[in-house]
Amino acid sequence: MADGALYITTPIYYVNDKPHIGHAYTTTVCDVWARSMRAAGHDVFFLTGTDEHGVKVEKSAAEHDTTPQEWADRNAAEFQKVLAVFGLTNDDFIRTTEPRHTRQVQAFVERLKATGDVYLGRFEGWYDEGQEEYHTDTKARELDYKSPVSGRPLVRAEEQNYYFRLSAYQARLEALFAERPEFVRPEARRNEVLGRLREGLQDVPVSRTNFRWGIAMPDDPEHVIYVWIDALFNYVTALGLGDAEPGPRQRYWPATYHVIGKEILWFHAVIWPALLMALELPLPGCVYAHSFWIADGQKMSKSLGNFVDLPTIERFLGHYGLDAWRFYMATKGPLGAHDADFSARHFHEVYTTDLVNTVGNCASRVTAMIGKYFDGAVPTEAPDGSRILVAEHDWPALASGASESSLEAIERLDLAGSIEQVLGLVRRVDGFINLTEPFKLAKDPGRRNELGAILYQCVESVRIAAHLLEATMPERMSQLLEALGGRIAGPLADAVRWGGLQPGTQVAKVALFPRLEALDQLAPSAP
């Protein structure tokens, strides 16, 4: 991964929909990564925001008897509320109706007109009105001339528009994909893009005349900049890259990760890099396209009304707590090539197995024994100067192995893999307690040093685990670190170094994750 400043982005969400699990998910994934990278000592910028222009917003505003701007304001506020509810630490929230964005989009498009990459021309194609997207003849045939999202017929449309010369970037895009296999992840998504790229690229419209709610084309205000082009630029306008004086945020470009859902991959993996090439700007490190949450085995859709929406999520938060929600998102979410099924039963199983029985139980066992046998003062690991190797467990090596693997995995955005390394360490501590039976040793005053050594190794491993899990579960892990005498300042690699916990430190007994009844329905009104 690149050194220095790091930059992670979510898609900017349409304001004509209410926030649901999908939006919360992508933003939470980025948040866990951003928190981890900050903890590791990097200079991180984490961006999210809202996509506020286009026909859909214009239409829904009219349906709600209000202006597009007011409608956008109202719904952008809903999305901002989500950030607080989920404890998200974004550094900025960009709205495409803000002057800082519109001004820079116009400047970028003007530059593209000047280079000849944007030109006025005629276009005919198969148009998906709901998605505001054109399909090629081949693709339209494959789709049986129906929208893959709404199922409504594609319409044959012809327009005089400004176009972006995407076709001119075919060879450079092919070279990009060949040279940088990590540019699109996961692998299955990359293969899909490659397949479509090989069919050949056509130029794409960058302006429309069939709606008004958008950014005017420079020097031709009859034309409004196509909402997708407007939206993609958010990633650089938030950093001020289109301004005459780009300012200090330009150090974050290029983005380390653009995290998106798989349905918007083409725009991000092909159109966006081509636009950047045309503008001679560096390309992002990786476009990461995750799969979808489905609910109780079915695709979530408006018509089925089975979106896991904000009120439903709030019931889970109220019952299990924010950290449990974030843990479930991070470990069981659809980051890989397959969709993930959200079910209340599965959520409850994961909560009980991993949080109550593993992390919570281990932390409370270890802190309770130190309370009972050492009056809460951390014992000495090796009182006679030599490390006691009990039951062939080399704890410093085990802990540093787990830390390194966990940090490596999170850099690759493998959240589940990163967390699994830490859970593995915690499970080993539990197994070690069962094996060495400190509660029996405690009865023999002659084995006090051994007892102390065992408990030191356990509590030090738990402390290291707490640091590594803090990006995912900030509330409970900071509570645990407080109980273990406070967090160690400095970069994560130092905080997780073996031996950080000083003998004599007072630790308090903790109860992190209470055993709970199952919340067995997704929605209060579900049958």
Residues that bind ligand ME8 (CB under 6 A): 11-14, 17, 22-23, 25-26, 51, 231-232, 234, 260-261, 263-264, 292-293, 300
Q: Name the residue nearer to ligand ME8 (CB basis): 12 or 355.
A: 12
The residue behind tokens 């018509």 is 303
Which residue's Cβ has the minimum distance to ligand ME8?
A: 22
Any bridge partners for residue 155, and if so which? Answer: 127
Cα three-residue angle 377-432-472, rounded to 5 degrees: 75
Burial 294-321 (b: 16+ CB within 10 A, else e): bbeeeebeeeeebbbbbebbeebbebbb
Q: Please identify, using beta-carbon distances, which residue of 293 and 395 lies nearer to ligand ME8.
A: 293
Choose between 221 and 311: whose C-beta lies nearer to ligand ME8. 311
Cα–Cα dist 506/503, whole Å? 9
Closer Cβ to ligand ME8, 24 or 425, answer by number: 24
Query: Are 415 and 335 spatial neighbours (Cβ–Cβ below 8 Å)?
Result: yes
Scan for tokens 């050194």, then name that residue: 3
| 204, containing H or E segment | strand 204-205
260 vs 423, beta carbon nearer ligand ME8: 260
Give the full edge-to-edge strand order of the sheet including 118-128.
Answer: 133-135, 118-128, 155-164, 204-205
Compute the least distance from the CB of residue 165 to ligand ME8, in Å: 20
Taking the CB of residue 115, how many other CB atoms lie within 10 A of it? Answer: 11
Nearest CB to ligand ME8, comparing residues 233 and 395: 233
For the chain, the residue count is: 527
The nearest distance, CB 369 to ligand ME8, in angstroms, is 42
Tell the smallest beta-carbon distance from residue 484 to ligand ME8 (Å). 36
Q: Are 466 and 422 in contact (CB under 8 A)?
A: no
Q: Minimum Å distance from CB 323 to ligand ME8? A: 20
User: At closest approach, how far in Å is the CB of 51 from ligand ME8?
Assistant: 3
Alpha carbon of residue 90 to chain centroid: 11
Supply the minimum distance, in Å, between the C-beta of residue 48 and ligand ME8.
10
- What residues are paired with 4 via a beta bridge? none
12 vs 236, which CB is nearer to ligand ME8? 12
Provide the 3-class DSSP secondary structure of residue 9.
strand
At its nearest, how many Å lie between ligand ME8 and the CB of residue 184?
14
